[in-house]
Structure 1
């Protein structure tokens, strides 16, 4: 089986679906290929940031988004000697929605996919896994895939890799990459809760341990940070020791419901960045171009902003059949500064905070910072802006607005 589209988008995550929606609204024939049968993935983050909600406003989708069950996070607080100190305050942002919305990412993706399906030039193919790139000489001309009806080929003027940190597109395109050390992996698991708990951007920590607790309907989704490569040692200590650790850190939950290590999924956390995001006929964005640490929950911001930039720059040349490498490089140029700045901040936090915690240390905010926050609470808007808006935020192009 072989067919044709103007733009083949590989991966139905935030970057892929937002890009597909915006290009389709520009009248471009776009096909998104997603290897899974649905968007239900526990290890997806649930944070929808102020800048993403502003984008939903611009796309005419915020009212539908606001109808989804969600909770709001307005501050990030740190426990200092039994006193909760606000270090991050989204309420101080000059944004139409000054908070972080906690919405399961699959609900957001379903919303964007439904909106895109209303566009006559949009196609979403589920259960369709891209296995490689098609080439004509040095130029990429489409993708090979395996779908419900077997293997096939999809020819396209452009392939956009939005397939995450294990991207098949960037691997087959052999794009050069820089990798940075990360001191931790993440164990993901569910715990039923006995009483409500509050999400916080600031992890709960104990010497040698850290976790982030995401409240969902009827359970908590837990991101449990462990030293890099230490999962085998965690298992050797046994489930009883694991239960005791969790009970100490999460008194709201019932850790005994973890009856096997099969209930725990381990994610190899990566932090990397492509030196070049494109080659002829192919472009990578989002985690496929720059895998982000989960610190701050900002990966979705970067991925969606990449999609907005790509749609803004590429729509006209795709529509006119005049796409060149200069257009593809322009996407990287627009997005490289926020990518580098964000990853640099994450690397500093890895070294200064998480590495110390996971090595058994206890981290407290510097006394000078606490005094500054007490005297000038408005400074809490600075980290709120970095997390909730980011560097060089993007606006939806005019053709995509409703």
Structure 2
């Protein structure tokens, strides 16, 4: 079997894996990132780039390049009820130079990170490399196993192995690390609709009598989502596509001339919504970050932001000991302690919103009038800064230490 060596091996070339790989290579740490696929072109990935990430780009001297990528800026999040429009989050009230969030295709964002990382001789990306598990010696993770497209097995030895391979992490499972599952009572049906000249823009949620529909403006289309009861997709599918299209038109009439583009159920992706979190993010030689450490609900759209903040915190703490060969378990514990609280607090907010509002609403329980919180935000607009900050900045934004800039 082919065996190679590096200082840090990272499974997964998503936002967390590529950001960490770029920062470590920038600091002079030999780093190999492994990605199962040959490209980044996959639909239904999170495309939000938050204000905290935009600030990070500036701190790394990348903001000018980054701003040239085609993107949409969203300045507020509106919710339309049967009583009319309400503003849930006004990003224009954010402090700093980025009073907005942006939407950018994730493949463009990942390609940007890869291009920057590739400038550093200590960085390497292995495509078509499916990570299958950890390797161990004397009770410590000392690398990972991966398989190429021809089915050949390889091993990569490393001082530190990082699981950034998502919510179904092969490394996490191989290491016997089980997350605490909080569950969810909703799923999301995710699909695209064409955008026409003259369409009202932005990011809008539509609430009406047990229905929650969200549309997000993109360059050429609307990214759309409907919340359904957990496992409720089969019931909706049994009612037929015509009924599904009728629901969309009832919620947002201007879409009537294009709902036919949802031509089959193959055009609708079911997102299994879960919230979970590892009790411990590491074991000797292994660290989990991003979705491998904590799966977030799409509520507030903060999953990518938290993953990137994990990567920055990990690089801040681990770059120097990795470079000097002095990495200890205490360093891994410091990363967990740094990121556990903002992650847990964010998940508590998500769970509260789901269990107290979204799940009962989707089940058709309780009142069908405009929620009190939306009325309060309309009466006191200054409060719209709170949801905006939680979404766009987060509870503990990270900045790279001077040696990484």
TM-score band w.r.t. shorter chain: over 0.9
Residue correspondence of structure 1 range 210-225 to structure 2 within 5 A: 210-225=212-227
Corresponding residue of 2:162: 160
CA contact 1:36–1:127 (8 Å) conserved in 2? yes
Aligned residue among 245, 248, 256 for 1:246: 248
Q: Unpaired segments of 5 or more residues in structure 1?
A: none
In structure 2, the CA distance between the partners of 1:251 and 1:110, relative to structure 1 (3 Å rule), is farther
CA contact 1:353–1:363 (8 Å) conserved in 2? no
Q: Show CA shifts across 1:225-255 (max 9, x none).
A: 2110112111111111112112223434412
Corresponding residue of 1:365: 371
Distance apart, 1:372 and its partner CA:
6.0
> Structure 1: how far apart are the matches of 2:165 and 2:92?
33
In structure 2, the CA distance between the partners of 1:213 and 1:81, relative to structure 1 (3 Å rule), is closer
Is 1:307 aligned with 2:308?
A: no
Corresponding residue of 1:63: 64
Is 1:28 aligned with 2:29?
A: yes
Distance apart, 1:156 and its partner CA:
0.8
In structure 2, the CA distance between the partners of 1:137 and 1:97, relative to structure 1 (3 Å rule), is same
Q: Unpaired segments of 5 or more residues in structure 2?
A: none
In structure 2, the CA distance between the partners of 1:365 and 1:9, relative to structure 1 (3 Å rule), is same
Q: Show CA shifts across 1:273-301 (max 9, x none).
A: 00000011101011110100000101111
CA contact 1:50–1:100 (8 Å) conserved in 2? yes
Q: Secondary structure at the match of 1:234?
A: helix
Distance apart, 1:307 and its partner CA:
0.4
Corresponding residue of 1:328: 332
Q: Secondary structure at the match of 2:337?
A: helix
Q: Show CA shifts across 1:349-385 (max 9, x none).
A: 0012211221124352317x635643x4222111111
Distance apart, 1:206 and its partner CA:
2.8
Is 1:289 aligned with 2:293?
A: yes
Corresponding residue of 2:131: 130
Corresponding residue of 1:198: 201
Q: Secondary structure at the match of 1:191?
A: strand
In structure 2, the CA distance between the partners of 1:133 and 1:264, relative to structure 1 (3 Å rule), is same
> Structure 1: how far apart are the matches of 2:201 and 2:342?
29
> Structure 1: how far apart are the matches of 2:288 and 2:112?
23
Distance apart, 1:65 and its partner CA:
1.4
CA contact 2:50–2:392 (8 Å) conserved in 1? yes
> Structure 2: how far apart are the matches of 1:41 and 1:82?
37
Q: Secondary structure at the match of 1:204?
A: strand
CA contact 2:195–2:220 (8 Å) conserved in 1? yes
> Structure 1: how far apart are the matches of 2:370 and 2:165?
37
Distance apart, 1:84 and its partner CA:
2.6
- Which stretches of structure 1, 4 residues or more, deviate above 6 A after TM superposition? none
> Structure 2: how far apart are the matches of 1:365 and 1:210?
13
Corresponding residue of 1:100: 101
In structure 2, the CA distance between the partners of 1:90 and 1:155, relative to structure 1 (3 Å rule), is same
Distance apart, 1:317 and its partner CA:
1.0
CA contact 1:24–1:119 (8 Å) conserved in 2? yes
Moved more, 215-224 or 95-104: 215-224
Aligned residue among 370, 387, 391 for 2:391: 387
> Structure 2: how far apart are the matches of 1:146 and 1:372?
52
In structure 2, the CA distance between the partners of 1:372 and 1:163, relative to structure 1 (3 Å rule), is closer
Distance apart, 1:76 and its partner CA:
1.8
Distance apart, 1:344 and its partner CA:
0.3
> Structure 2: how far apart are the matches of 1:216 and 1:80?
22
RMSD of aligned Cα (Å): 1.7
Q: Show CA shifts across 1:4-40 (max 9, x none).
A: 1110111111111110010001100001111111112
> Structure 2: how far apart are the matches of 1:23 and 1:45?
24
CA contact 2:87–2:377 (8 Å) conserved in 1? no
Q: Show CA shifts across 1:322-357 (max 9, x none).
A: 111111111010011101110000001001221122
Is 1:354 aligned with 2:358?
A: yes
Moved more, 185-194 or 329-338: 185-194
Q: Secondary structure at the match of 2:253?
A: coil
Q: Secondary structure at the match of 2:110?
A: helix
In structure 2, the CA distance between the partners of 1:363 and 1:44, relative to structure 1 (3 Å rule), is farther
Distance apart, 1:82 and its partner CA:
4.6
> Structure 1: how far apart are the matches of 2:316 and 2:369?
43
